[in-house]
Amino acid sequence: MKKSVEKMSARKILFIMLDGIGGLPVKNGKTEWEITATPNLDKLARKGVYGLMYPIHMGVIPGSDTSQLNILGYPPYKFYPGRGPLEALGAEIEIQNNDIAFRANFATVDKKFNVIDRRAGRIGTREASKLAKCIEKIKIDGIEFIFKNTVEHRGAVIARGKGLSAEIEDTDPHATGVPIVQPRITTKNAKLVRAINKYTAKVHKLLQAHPINAKRRMPANALLLRGAGKMKNVEKFEKRFGMSACCIAGAALYKGITKYIGMDVIHVKGATGTYDSDLNAKAKTALRMLKKYEFVYLHVKALDNAGHDGSTAKRQYMIRKIDKMVGKLMNEDAVIVITGDHSTPVCKRAHSFEPVPFIVSNVEARNYGLSKFCEVQARKGELGLFNGEHALRIAMAYAGRTRKYGE
């Protein structure tokens, strides 16, 4: 009896993750959030509690993957499997426990395997998909390599065989004008490294001969591998936190992260993970999924892209677009969380360690006088300054999903 009462008071959570949310001053000492009108977010923030969050820890520059795992209740120090497996899951490659997974890029190389362009002239998804067909499955020395492309030049590779080690360097030199790296051989990884070197050569041969590449100024004639990792068995989100959960995202990595922790991934037509992503379609899907799931994770990517592109105008464009999306969601009877996984200030064109705003809205809250949703005013609230490992518990507390400690 007691249990059912508890269950009834528990509310649903809509968790909106704005990738690269935080910025630094861009105009008159103010950030993009401070100088861009966000009527819906302001209203929502005033109906909630707020603070600033260090996504991982103070002084740590977060990757999107480690940060989002942390915020979702899976500390990366323990649960991070490396970027490879998360990309491969997002690419919908079926991974087995002993597979080694890599993140992969189509690239352009010359005859001596010197990298000319790490993104093969930013090849489009359609052409990349056609090229991918000729290198889908390749077997070398008893190791099977499976490749799948995702968006544009991106994709994932898994190596399947007996006794393979994930301790292996990237073949991606992370620079141009230098050759593809032949990873250092150790006692553990010799078998895989030898096979990978042959694989790189074989892939080059097959891609170089492909008719699509004959027409390209920057032929996509090589694959660069990085972020090797192995799957880990993790407790599913629903079991760990008692909430059925799904993810709505455009880009492969975020689908991979949430799939890794056992969430259902909902595909939305028009959700691209870039500036043109259909946030209206994502909002509609989120509303539908809130009827079915207790926890809906809605990820928006392109604010981060704008930071990497060093464009304040694009960040403002995304902020306005996000505010409109929030307008379609804010009246839903759910606890709404709005936060991000790190800052991506335009002046750095990269992720940075500054804390990010965190609001929990549609809840009973004290009024600390916030008038604008932004990094600076978020600090006024009672959540103060905290680390990402507390994020989910805070959200659950406001949703009536935590229990009393002691009597």
Q: Interface residues with Zn ion (CB under 5 A)?
A: 19, 64, 304, 341
CA pair distance 201, 161, nearest whole angstrom: 19
Of 117 and 304, the one with the shorter C-beta distance to Zn ion is 304
CA pair distance 362, 124, nearest whole angstrom: 41
Structure tokens at 84: 């490879």
Residue-level length of the chain:
407
Of 108 and 344, the one with the shorter C-beta distance to Zn ion is 344
CB of 293 to Zn ion, least distance (A): 23
Q: Which residue lies nearest Zn ion, judged by its C-beta? A: 64
Q: Do 66 and 257 touch, CB atoms closer than 8 A?
A: no
CB of 116 to Zn ion, least distance (A): 24
Q: Transcribe 207-251 into DSSP letters.
A: HHT-HHHHT-SS---EEEEEEEE-------HHHHHS--EEEE-SS
Q: Which residues pair with 160 in a beta bridge?
A: 144
Question: Helix, strand, coil % (nearest 5) of the chain?
Answer: 35, 20, 45
3-state secondary structure at position 2: helix
3-state secondary structure at position 166: coil
DSSP code of residue 96? P
Of 66 and 221, the one with the shorter C-beta distance to Zn ion is 66
CB of 43 to Zn ion, least distance (A): 26
Number of Cβ within 10 Å of residue 232's Cβ equals: 14
Residue type, 104: A
CB of 71 to Zn ion, least distance (A): 11
CB of 103 to Zn ion, least distance (A): 14
**DSSP H/E element including 284:** helix 279-290
CB of 300 to Zn ion, least distance (A): 10
CA pair distance 151, 252, nearest whole angstrom: 8
Of 152 and 304, the one with the shorter C-beta distance to Zn ion is 304
Of 152 and 341, the one with the shorter C-beta distance to Zn ion is 341
Tokens 């060093």 belong to 310
3-state secondary structure at position 339: strand
CB of 253 to Zn ion, least distance (A): 9
CB of 19 to Zn ion, least distance (A): 4
